[in-house]
Chains A and B, each alone.
Chain A
Amino acid sequence: MATAKFEPVLTRNVGKPEALTLKGYRQLGGYEGLAKALTMEPDAVIDEVKKSGLRGRGGAGFSAGLKWSFIPKRKENEQDKPRYLVCNADESEPGTFKDRLLMENDPHQLIEGCAICCFAVSAATCYVYIRGEYTKSAVILERALKEAYDAGILGDNVLGSGFRLNLYVHRGAGAYICGEETGMLESLEGKRGQPRVKPPFPAIVGAFGAPTVINNVETLCNVPHILTRGADWFKSIGTDEKNTGPKLYAISGHVERPGTYEHPIGITFREMLDAAGGMWKGRQLKAFIPGGASAPILKPDQIDVKMDFDTVAKAGSMLGSAAVIVMDETTCMVRSVARLSKFFNHESCGQCTPCREGTNWMELVLDRLEHGEGTERDAQLLLSICKNIGGQSLCALGDAAIGPVKSLVDRFPEEIEQHVRHRACPFPRPRYFENGA
C-alpha cells in the first residue's frame, strides 16, 4: 500500500468544473458503474459491495453491503410494497466537511451511487436528506438531478433497463439530531426530528413504515468505483480486510493547511498531519480528535495511530466521520470540551432523560470549571454523569456527548486540577469568549 502513489478516487473530479455537468462527468468515466450494475443481478451487486469490505463512512462504520442485505426480500404478493434509500447528507458533526465537498464538486457521483444502491435493494425512491445550511450543495445537486432525469438516467426507465427510480433532494432545517438515522426519517416524514426507539430497525420499518436503507454520502460515492474497478481493487487499498478503500479526512484546527484530504484508509495521523502542512506556526501538538466532536480526545503519544475504524477504536477513540481536529499547546482542554458539551446540550432533542438532563448538567459543570468555580469533586461528578448517560440514552447522541468529557477527565486530569487550584483558567482567553460566546 504505497501511499505516495495513491491516486484520489472519490475526489478525482474535484477541481474539474466539467464534472458538474452530465456530459463532463460521462467523459470522465461516469455512470459506467451504474451501467454495469444494471446488467447484474441485484444480489450480485450487494455481494460485490459486501466483498469490497466497504464500511459506512457516516461514523458507525457498519458494513454497507451487509446493511443492504438486511432489506427483506420481496415476497410474491408484495411487489408493490415500497422500499426506500435515504442518503444521509445531513453532515453536521462539528469538524466534518467531507460530504459537502463531494456534493458540490461531483454531484453525479453521488447520484450514480444512489442509483446503484437503489437497484441493489430494489428501491424505487431515493431521498437525499441534505443539511439545511448546505444551500449550495442542494442547488448543485438539484441541477445535476434535472440533467440526469432529462438524460433518462433517473425516472421510469433507468438507462433503458426498465428499472424505475425517482430521486428527490430533501432539505433539512438544520438539526444535528436529524443526522441520526431515525431522527432523519422522522424529519423526512414531516414530523419533529427526534430518534425513534429501536428495534425495529430502519431496514425493516424505516421511512413511511417501509424497509429503508440509510447510507452516508461518502459511502454511496464509493459504490460506483467498486463496480467499475471491482471489489478486489477496493480491497487492495487500506490497512486490512476490515478497513478498505479510500477515505476522506477533514482536518481542521491548528494545522497549516486545513481541509479535506483523501487518503487510503489507515494512514497514520502523523502522515496526515504532514500532508496538511504540519502544525500551525510549528507549534507543539497537544491533543487531537480523530473522528468529529463525539470522538474521545487523543494525546500526542497516539500520533502514529493508523486512522482506520479498528485501530482508532483500540486507541480509545473512534474514527467516526474522520473529522480530525488538531489542537496545539495553547489550547485549554477544559474550555474546548465545555464548548463541545454546549454543542451537544444545544442539539439534544430532549426526548430522553439522560441526554436531555445529562448534557445540560455537564455543560453547566464544565462552564463552572472553566470560570474557576470548580471543586475537587467535579472530575468525579463528570465521570459519574457520563456513566449515567452512557449506554442508557435512546439514541447515540448521549454516548457521543460523553466521549470528549470522559477523555478530558481520563487523559487531562491535571488541567482540571489547575483550573480548580488557580480558581481560573490558566490559558489565555480568546477575545470571542469575552462576549459570553
Chain B
Amino acid sequence: MPKVTINDRTVEVEAGTNVIDAGLKAGVLVPHYCYHPRLTVVGQCRMCLVEITDNGKKMPKLQTACSSYVTKDGWSVRTDTPEVAEAQKGMMEFFLINHPLDCPICDQAGECGLQDYSFKHGVAFSRFQYEDKRTYPGRERIPLGANVVLNMNRCIQCTRCIRFTEEIAGTGELGFFNRGARVEIGTFPGKELSNPLATCVVDVCPVGALTSTRFRFAERVWYLDKKPSLCTGCEVGCNVTMEQRRGDIKRYKPRFNVEVNDYWMCDYGRSTFERYKKLPRLTSPRVRAEGGNGHAPVVNTGWSQALDAVHRRLAGTVPGEIAYLGSGFLTTEEAYLFSKLAGMGGPSHRAVTVDLGPEWTIPRHQRPPITGREAAPNRRGAELAGLAGGEGDLSADDLLHGDGAARCAVLVVCDSDFGQAAWDPEAVARLRQARFLVVFGWADSPLAQAADVALPVAHHGEKDGTFVNVEWRVQRFERAFAPTGQVRPALDVLSDLLGRFEAGWTQLSAATVFDRLAGELPAFSGLSWHRLPATGAALHVPEARPKLSDQAAETATEASA
C-alpha cells in the first residue's frame, strides 16, 4: 500500500484513496464541502485545495484533495502553507459574500460548515461592502417535500443533495437549475422530494439551506445532549444519535455504521421518537384493589407494594398457568431477565410478538441493501435471550387472536406498547381474560389501564441495552437521560423482582446482565458489554445469514455489476 505524507505525518493508505480520506487517517482535516465519502467526487467547492509534491516535484497548481488519489509512494501533501491558507481564505470570502449571514435565525447555526471553516480559515471582515447580495426572492422557505425545506439564499451550491437523490436514494428528484451566480437547487417539475430517505439531504447539506421540517426551530443545536442510540422503527437497527434537551428528544440523526446503515436512515425512523411525546405515559406503579372480579379501581402505589403483589401472585401460581408475552421492543438483557423470571419454579409459557410494518430499505456501501419489515428492533434478541415459545407453549397468536389468555392464571405482558394490539380494545379484552394481568411498559395504553398491576418502566431513551438486528448483529445503545418520576428501567425492576425469588439478582446493570447472558447463551459467546465494537458484533447463529466480509461483498457486487 502506498505511503503518503500529510503535514509531516506519514500514513499508509490503500491505493486509490483520496487525499481527504488519507488526511483523516493521518489526523489532518482538509476542509471540504462538496466531498462526501459516498457520493461522486465533483471537485466543485474548491475548499479542499492542497499543495502536493510528487517525489520532490511540486505540482504547478494547488490541487483539490478530493480528486487527488494516492496511487504510489512519494506524495507529500501540505495543507498549512501560506499559499493554501490564502486560497482557503479566498474561497471562504467567495462563499460568504452572497450568504445572508442569518445565523441567529438559522437552524444550522452551531453545526454549520460555513461557521466552522469561517472561524478556522476565513477573515473577520468583508470586502463586499458596496454591492447588493444575491438573493432568491420567494425562495427562502420552499418545501421540497413533506420533510425538507429549502432556503436558497443560504445554499453554497455543493450539490451534495442532488447527488444523494441521484446516487443513494436513486430517485433523482433534485436538480441544478439556471447558471452562474443565479444557479439554484430545486425539484424537477411535477416532482417532490418524497423518497423514504429524503431527510438525509438535510444531513448531507453542510449549511442551513436544507432544514428538516421536524426539527425546524425546535432547538438551538448547542443545547442538545447527544448519545449514541438505535432507531426502534424496524428490525434494521439504524445507528442514530439521540439528541435531546432535558429529557425532551428533539431529533434522531443517523450515526455512521458501515455494517448497518452506512451514513443514512429513513424518514420514518426519524419520526419514531415522537411516540414518546405524543402518547400518554405511565408514571407510577398501579395496582388494582382486591375483589370486584377484575373491575375494582386501580390505585397508584409505591414500587415495593406493586412488586410484592406481583411476586405474591407469581409465587402462588403453578408455572404452567403463567404466560409471558414478550415484545420486539425489549432489550436483549430485559428479555433475558424475563426469561429467568419465566423459569422460576418451572417453565411458563413464553411468546414474543411483533407487528409487521411496511418495508424499509437502507442502501449500503459495497454491501447489499438492508431491509427491515418487523416494526420492532429486537424480536431476534428477545427470542435468543429465552423468550421464544417452546413446544406446547401458548403462542402470541393464541393470546392475541384466540382465547389463550383465558387459560392463564397470570399473564405478564412485558411491554405495554408492544404493537397495535395494545391499543386495540378487542385485543385488550382478549388478553384481559387472564385471571391476573401484569403489564410492564412506558406507555399508558388501554392494555396498561386494563392491567391488575401496571409497572412504569423506561423507554429506550432512558436505558442502556442491546438490540439484535435483522442480520443478527448485536448493537449497544446508551441511556440518553434519566427517567422522571417513579419510572425505573425494567432491568432494575426485574432484578428486584427476581431478588424476591432468590438471592444474587439485585442491582443488575445492562453491562452485568449482558456479560452474564454472553456466558450462558452460545449465540453471544465471547462477547462482553465493554468490548462490544462500536459497529456491533455479528452473532453466532446457525441460521443467520453469513456475515459478508468486505472482501466477499466486494466480489459479490463486482460479479453482479
Q: Dominant SS at the A interface?
A: helix
Q: Which B224-282 residues have a C-beta within 8 angstroms of A?
A: none
Q: Which B34-59 residues have a C-beta within 8 angstroms of A?
A: 41-47, 49
Q: Please indicate the chain B residues that have their CB under 8 angstroms from the CB of A391 in the complex.
A: 61-62
The one of B42, B90, B131, B159 that contacts A354, using a Cβ cutoff of 8 Å: B90
The one of B46, B93, B179 that contacts A349, using a Cβ cutoff of 8 Å: B179
Compute how far the CA of A388 lies from the CA of B94 in the bound complex, rounded to whole angstroms.
Answer: 9
Given contacts A351-B183, A352-B46, contact A358 B94 (CB under 8 A): yes
- Flag whether B91 is at the interface (Cβ < 8 A): yes
Given contacts A364-B131, A392-B46, contact A347 B180 (CB under 8 A): yes
Q: Please indicate the chain B residues that have their CB under 8 angstroms from the CB of A72 in the complex.
A: none
Compute how far the CA of A375 lies from the CA of B181 in the bound complex, rounded to whole angstroms.
Answer: 24
User: Chain B contact residues (Cβ within 8 angstroms of A): what range?
Assistant: 35 or more
Compute how far the CA of A361 lies from the CA of B93 in the bound complex, rounded to whole angstroms.
Answer: 11
Compute how far the CA of A348 lies from the CA of B182 in the bound complex, rounded to whole angstroms.
Answer: 10
- Flag whether A357 is at the interface (Cβ < 8 A): yes
Query: From B62, which residue of chain A is reached at the shortest CB distance?
Result: A392
Compute how far the CA of A361 lies from the CA of B134 in the bound complex, rounded to whole angstroms.
Answer: 10
Q: Which B60-85 residues have a C-beta within 8 angstroms of A?
A: 61-62, 64, 67
Given contacts A353-B45, A354-B94, A388-B87, contact A197 B180 (CB under 8 A): no
Determine if A365 and B46 form an interchain contact, defined as CB atoms under 8 angstroms apart: no
Find the residue from A346, A354, A357, A392 having the highest chain B CB count within 10 A.
A357
Determine if A347 and B179 form an interchain contact, defined as CB atoms under 8 angstroms apart: yes
- Flag whether A356 is at the interface (Cβ < 8 A): yes
Q: Which A363-419 residues have a C-beta within 8 angstroms of B?
A: 364-365, 368, 373, 375, 381, 384, 387-388, 391-394
> How far, in Å, is B52 (CB) from chain A's closest CB?
13
Given contacts A368-B131, A381-B127, A391-B62, contact A360 B90 (CB under 8 A): no
- Flag whether B509 is at the interface (Cβ < 8 A): no
Determine if A356 and B180 form an interchain contact, defined as CB atoms under 8 angstroms apart: yes
User: Chain A contact residues (Cβ within 8 angstroms of B): what range?
Assistant: 35 or more
Query: From B66, which residue of chain A is reached at the shortest CB distance?
Result: A197
- Flag whether B156 is at the interface (Cβ < 8 A): yes
Given contacts A356-B157, A368-B131, A391-B61, contact A361 B97 (CB under 8 A): yes
Query: From A200, which residue of chain B is reached at the shortest CB distance?
Result: B67
Compute how far the CA of A140 lies from the CA of B358 in the bound complex, rounded to whole angstroms.
Answer: 59
Determine if B46 and A361 form an interchain contact, defined as CB atoms under 8 angstroms apart: no
Determine if B64 and A197 form an interchain contact, defined as CB atoms under 8 angstroms apart: yes
Q: Please indicate the chain B residues that have their CB under 8 angstroms from the CB of A349 in the complex.
A: 179-180, 183
Query: From A397, which residue of chain B is reached at the shortest CB distance?
Result: B180
- Flag whether B128 is at the interface (Cβ < 8 A): yes
Query: From A196, which residue of chain B is reached at the shortest CB distance?
Result: B42
Query: From B43, which residue of chain A is reached at the shortest CB distance?
Result: A197
- A-B interface contact total, Cβ < 8 Å: 104
Determine if A359 and B179 form an interchain contact, defined as CB atoms under 8 angstroms apart: no
Compute how far the CA of A351 lies from the CA of B93 in the bound complex, rounded to whole angstroms.
Answer: 16
Determine if B176 and A351 form an interchain contact, defined as CB atoms under 8 angstroms apart: yes
> How far, in Å, is B386 (CB) from chain A's closest CB?
55
- Flag whether B125 is at the interface (Cβ < 8 A): no
> How far, in Å, is A401 (CB) from chain B's closest CB?
11
Q: Please indicate the chain A residues that have their CB under 8 angstroms from the CB of B44 in the complex.
A: 197, 351-353, 394
Q: Please indicate the chain A residues that have their CB under 8 angstroms from the CB of B183 in the complex.
A: 349-351, 356
Determine if A356 and B181 form an interchain contact, defined as CB atoms under 8 angstroms apart: yes
Determine if A354 and B46 form an interchain contact, defined as CB atoms under 8 angstroms apart: yes
Query: From B181, which residue of chain A is reached at the shortest CB distance?
Result: A360
Determine if A197 and B41 form an interchain contact, defined as CB atoms under 8 angstroms apart: yes
Q: Please indicate the chain A residues that have their CB under 8 angstroms from the CB of B131 in the complex.
A: 361, 364-365, 368
> How far, in Å, is B178 (CB) from chain A's closest CB?
7
Determine if B91 and A353 form an interchain contact, defined as CB atoms under 8 angstroms apart: yes
Determine if A350 and B42 form an interchain contact, defined as CB atoms under 8 angstroms apart: no
Q: Please indicate the chain A residues that have their CB under 8 angstroms from the CB of B222 in the complex.
A: none
Given contacts A351-B42, A351-B157, contact A357 B181 (CB under 8 A): yes
Determine if A359 and B64 form an interchain contact, defined as CB atoms under 8 angstroms apart: no
- Chain B residues engaging chain A, CB cutoff 8 angstroms: 41-47, 49, 61-62, 64, 67, 87, 90-91, 93-95, 97-98, 127-128, 130-131, 134, 156-157, 159, 175-176, 178-183
- Excluding A197-B41, A197-B43, A197-B64, 18 further A-B contacts by CB distance (< 8 Å) are A199-B67, A347-B179, A348-B181, A349-B180, A352-B43, A352-B46, A353-B91, A353-B156, A356-B181, A357-B94, A360-B134, A361-B128, A364-B131, A384-B90, A384-B127, A391-B62, A392-B49, A392-B87
22 pairs across A/B with beta carbons < 8 Å? Answer: A175-B179, A345-B180, A346-B179, A347-B179, A348-B180, A348-B181, A350-B180, A351-B44, A351-B159, A351-B176, A352-B45, A356-B183, A357-B94, A361-B128, A361-B131, A364-B131, A368-B131, A375-B130, A392-B46, A392-B49, A392-B61, A392-B91
